[in-house]
Structure 1
Amino acid sequence: MTLEVLGVEGIPEIEAGADLGELIAKAGTYQDGDVLVVTSKIVSKAEGRLLRAADREAAIDAESVRLVARRGPVRIVENRNGFVMAAAGVDASNTAPGTVLLLPEDPDASARALRARLQQLTGRRLAVLVTDTFGRPWRNGLTDVAIGAAGLSALEDHRGRTDGYGNTLEQTVVATADELAAAADLVKGKTSGVPVAVVRGLGHLVTAEDGEGVRPLVRPSVDDMFRLGTSEALRQAVTLRRTVRSFTAEPVDPAAVRRAVAAAVTAPAPHHTTPWRFVLLESADTRVRLLDAMLDAWRRDLRELDGWDEARIARRTARGNVLRDAPYLVVPCLVTDGAHDYPDQRRAAAEREMFTVAAGAAVQNLLVALTGEGYGSAWVSSTMFCRATVREALDLPDGWDPMGAVAVGRPAEAPRARPERGAEAFIAVR
């Protein structure tokens, strides 16, 4: 078998309403059994899917039906065609400033229409694939995949066949359309200005009927082991969460912290209250002012203790450097509005403990969510030892009790491996 992959050159810039089939037909010479692989950008342009949008994020929202994952500004979403991809395919490259290009509304319908037009103009038996660039789970790098197909089966089912050793194939279903898309991109490329390629030598794959399109490539939710993955994702985030004491100078994205706070405030709390407040120290001046005031307070307190000379005080207060070196600080605070007022000390102390536990649950949510955003963190208890000083430095209400401080930033080094910790040592069964 001889296989050729040929770029189709000479296709002009595509405008809305262009007869794309005619332009492709004129640009090349085609044979029966050719598979034409067409970049979705020119299909979208011909179909008028160019949108003037100053806010690309709003365009992504409009094209998305489900958020799958988010890391900083990068969103992996499911679009209305069921494709799971970055930014719903909304593309600001190879288009004029101030505009974005959306994917074809129905890529299979686009492939069918383009195939019919090309076969009419060339008199050849052809197949058409419409492709776009996707990232892939578990692997770096991008590749083209089929998002629309006409005239060939997107999948080739090998189950039930035997291999060269006589073994029966049990699970092998080949994504033929995606293999062709990736092969064609070797001659199309991302910056070559060649939006169409011909794959020649696989005429046996070309069918008389348009076929099912790419729908068979989209894994049904019932078969998707990673569609939600909530328990797996949670366990992974909790496992990866470490106390990070060394950070890079890279600024922290305030939006990521706010998303982490949104996760934090889902923690359980007593009496239907919301006993948490999170003070975000985004100003370097504010961080320095707070930490200097805390340092002065610690020094005053330690000097009153027997045996604490200046060298020992310096060693003790140096532990706070993790806060001073971090590019971002969060001060979680406990508020006990809604707490029941008990006359006896035992019940009053238990009531306070209930609220304190709720604050700890919220901080744990915050730390895990920050890990999911790609940030390291260190929860340091220091503000609890000088609450009045912290309230004064940050101009906080009297009822806000600081519950430590969380240093946030990109870890300066990879965390050291740690042995897996099982549950049995911490369980008592009665």
Structure 2
Amino acid sequence: MTGLPREDVPAYRVWALPGIPEVRAGDDLVKVIASAAGAEGLPGLADGDVLLVTSKIVSKAEGRIVRAADREAAIDAEAVRVVARRGTLRIVENRQGLVMAAAGVDASNTEAGTVLLLPEDPDASARALRAGIEDALGVEVGVVITDTFGRPWRSGLTDVAIGAAGVRVLDDLRGGLDTHGNPLNVTTVATADELAAAGDLVKGKTAGLPVAVVRGLPHVVGDDGTGARALVRAPADDMFRLGTSEAVREAMTQRRTIREFTDDPVDPGAVRRAVAAAITAPAPHHTTPWRFVLLESESSRTRLLDAMRDAWISDLRGDGFSERSIAKRVRRGDVLRNAPYLVVPCLVMDGSHTYPDERRNAAEREMFVVAAGAAVQNFLVALAGERLGSAWVSSTMFCADVVRSVLDLPAGWSPMGAVAVGRASGAARERPARSASSFVEVR
């Protein structure tokens, strides 16, 4: 008994290559890998084998180490498009066309003050390794350069192919039949990714084994010139390239008025990104009638809210409310006082038209107010996309002069309420079911 399956049973072997030293800029990876593969006790390399090489050692050999005190700046330089962001985590499309976290910029296993970038052209790197191994050892192998990816809708990480040479990276089964005779219309197998994941099982993330060998799958090896670039979905076929419809619907569905917040600080960058979304709102006459006052210090929030409370109490007393009734109404402002961050959106009428007819002037202002509301709606939805809760409270509109005075705002700025921002302290209430047809009239 050999412990191996019969020859007619599909099977393959995969093993890691021990003994690979720390790779430095300028090292000859072909010599390093050939030496490790020929070590005593290992089967060596043979025609039809596939080499699975971690991108990190390729990057090091190619000198893709750069000085960067700020990793974020290095990510900016490598990214061509931000696909998704949550806090400091960014999923981006990098210059190689790969959509991944942090553009593949790695600050681990490299000297302090440096970061490691992905190979400039992973497919070219794979071709060079394949040709070098053939010259050095006289064997025809496939080469897959791998990197670690997260995946949408799935927890955990796995290795995938970012470069390949001499490997059939995709196995297109479309047009064939399954075992029941049904036509296969969409099945294309990512063979190179499957190889990368198989190698990761023996390489591991912390074992210091950056290269693995797969044997027993010679049918995947050959002169395939497409490279791993073929695994990158074309923009026209990518249903989630922008994710606009899905993301907006999800953010709008998740948006709730939150009245109780945790003490967790709010990322000012997240608020500024929400402002960037807010100012895409439509506005009359090609104007920009929005301003957002960000109250980031506790002292500024307390100063404003105290002044607003005093003004509100004065107004309520003037209206004849009892002290008990006044206290009850004032408590409604606690949602602002308990929030760790406040934003006061303001309307400016710069660029508005003036007419001799007051009716038209009133309509002009209404147009600008509607534009301000559209901007605040964008702002609230964008905050929800950042996993921040919010509550839009109208109180600043009832004491505009006080708000302008405390915040030292221009006379022409009209506060359009205040937005409390923070992390929700608990699950939001379920929104009552609403049928869109109840809000529609067709003529």
Report the TM range for the smaller structure's normalisation. Answer: over 0.9
Q: Secondary structure at the match of 2:186?
A: coil
Give the conservation status (yes or no) of the 8 Å contact 2:142–2:167: yes
- Whole-Å Cα distance in 2 between the matches of residues 189 and 387 of structure 1? 62
2:84 to 69, 73, 76: 69
Q: List per-residue Cα deviations over 1:99-132 (Å, max 9, x = no partner).
A: 1111111111111111121233233332111011
**2:293 pairs with one of 261, 279, 294:** 279
Equivalent residue for 1:90?
105
Following superposition, the deviation at residue 249 of structure 1 comes to 1.9
- Inter-partner Cα distance in structure 2 for 1:116 and 1:414: 58
Superposed, 1:23-422 pairs within 5 Å as: 23-28=32-37, 29-207=44-222, 209-306=223-320, 308-418=321-431, 421-422=434-435
Assess if the C-alpha contact under 8 Å between 2:130 and 2:140 holds in 1: no
Q: Is the 8 A contact 1:129 1:181 kept in 2?
A: yes
Task: Tell me by how many angstroms 1:321 deviates.
Answer: 1.2
Structure 2 Cα separation of the partners of residues 247 and 99 of structure 1: 39
Poorly superposed stretches of 4+, deviation over 6 Å: none
Q: Measure the CA separation in 1 of the matches of 2:18 and 2:202.
A: 10
Query: Partners of 1:232 and 1:31 in 2: how far apart?
Result: 49
How has the CA–CA distance of structure 1 residues 346 and 99 changed in structure 2, closer, same or farther, with 3 Å as cutoff?
A: same
Partner of 1:14: 23
Is contact 1:333–1:401 with CA below 8 Å preserved after alignment?
yes
Cα distance in structure 2, aligned partners of 1:115 and 1:371: 49
Q: How does the TM-score come out when normalised to structure 1?
A: 0.94
Does structure 1 conserve the Cα–Cα contact (< 8 Å) formed by 2:274 and 2:383?
A: yes
Q: Which amino acid aligns with 2:326?
A: I
CA distance in structure 2 between the aligned counterparts of 1:154 and 1:412, rounded to whole angstroms: 48
User: 1:419 deviation in Å?
Assistant: 5.1
SS at match of 1:231: helix
* CA distance, structure 2, for counterparts of residue 414 and residue 111 of structure 1: 49
Give me the CA root mean square deviation.
Answer: 1.9
d(CA) in 2 for partners of 1:363, 1:418: 20
Contact 2:294 2:342 in 1 (8 A): yes
CA distance in structure 1 between the partners assigned to 2:373 and 2:326 by the alignment: 29
Q: Percent identity?
A: 71
> Helix, strand or coil: the match of 1:297?
helix
Aligned-pair distance for 1:341? 3.2
Instruction: Give the superposition deviation at 1:364.
Output: 1.0
Distance 1:79 1:256 in 2: 22
1:169 positional shift: 2.2
* AA aligned opposite 1:279: V
Q: Once the two structures are superposed, what CA deviation does each residue of 1:343-372 show, in whole Å capped at 9, x if it has no partner?
A: 444333222212211111111111112122
Cα distance in 1 between the residues matched to 2:181 and 2:351:
72
Q: Which moved more, 1:265-274 or 1:167-176?
A: 265-274
Counterparts of 1:273 and 1:160 in 2: how far apart (Å)?
Answer: 55
Question: Partners of 2:198 and 2:150 in 1: how far apart?
Answer: 16
CA positional deviation for 1:266: 2.2
Separation of aligned partners in 2, 1:89 and 1:404: 42
Check conservation: 2:48, 2:221, Cα contact below 8 A: yes
**Counterpart of 2:148 in 1: which secondary structure?**
strand
- Name the SS of the counterpart of 1:294 in structure 2: helix
TM-aligned CA deviation for residue 414 of structure 1: 3.1
With structure 2 as the length reference, what TM-score do the two structures score?
A: 0.91
Query: What is the CA distance between 1:240 and its match in structure 2?
Result: 2.2
- Aligned CA distance change for structure 1 residues 338 and 216 (closer, same or farther; 3 Å): closer
Note the residue ranges of structure 1 that are not aligned, 5 or more in a row.
none
CA deviation profile, 1:122-144 (whole Å, cap 9, x unmatched): 33332111011112112222211
Distance in 1 (alpha carbons) for counterparts of 2:144 and 2:433 = 48
The answer to whether the Cα contact below 8 Å between 1:112 and 1:210 also exists between their aligned partners in 2 is: no
Residue 34 of structure 1 deviates from its aligned partner by: 2.0
Secondary structure at 2:11's aligned position in 1? coil
Residues 65-116 of structure 1: per-residue CA shift (max 9 Å, x gap): 3222222222222223221112221111111111111111111111111112
